[in-house]
Amino acid sequence: MADKTDKDDNHWRENLSPEEYHVCREGGTEPAFTGRYWDCKEDGTYACVACGLALFSSATKFDSGSGWPSFYDVIRAENIVNLVDNTHGMLRTELRCSGCDSHLGHIFEDGPQPTGKRYCINSLSLKLEQDA
């Protein structure tokens, strides 16, 4: 597991936009088809916008039709924390960054092979580090 950052709320408010703060620190969700990466085709690594921990590769990104960036695998399993989410009358698995506890999105079991998983992630929780 990554070393968890010990930043306080003031740090996050100063270093994240209000929209990023809402998603990452308050568990919000950006509207579908509005995020900067939902239809991005650039090659690179998607890192946590808050702490920079590498989370997803563009090689595992796919168009799920959901309106959010979707991936079928993670770079390293220990970089993601899975939590039970029973809000909104549903039972889901929430995903958080293991480096800073930022909310990322949710995982579903309807993705493509080889994993069958769909990591449905908010663009606001990601920063694309493009390949050179």
Active site residues: 120
For β-strands 44-48 and 70-71, DSSP reports them as unpaired
Written as six digits, the tokens of 43 are 């090659």
d(CA 39, CA 68) in angstroms, rounded, equals 8
The DSSP result for 37-50, as a single string, is TTT----EEEEETT
Written as six digits, the tokens of 17 are 């936009």
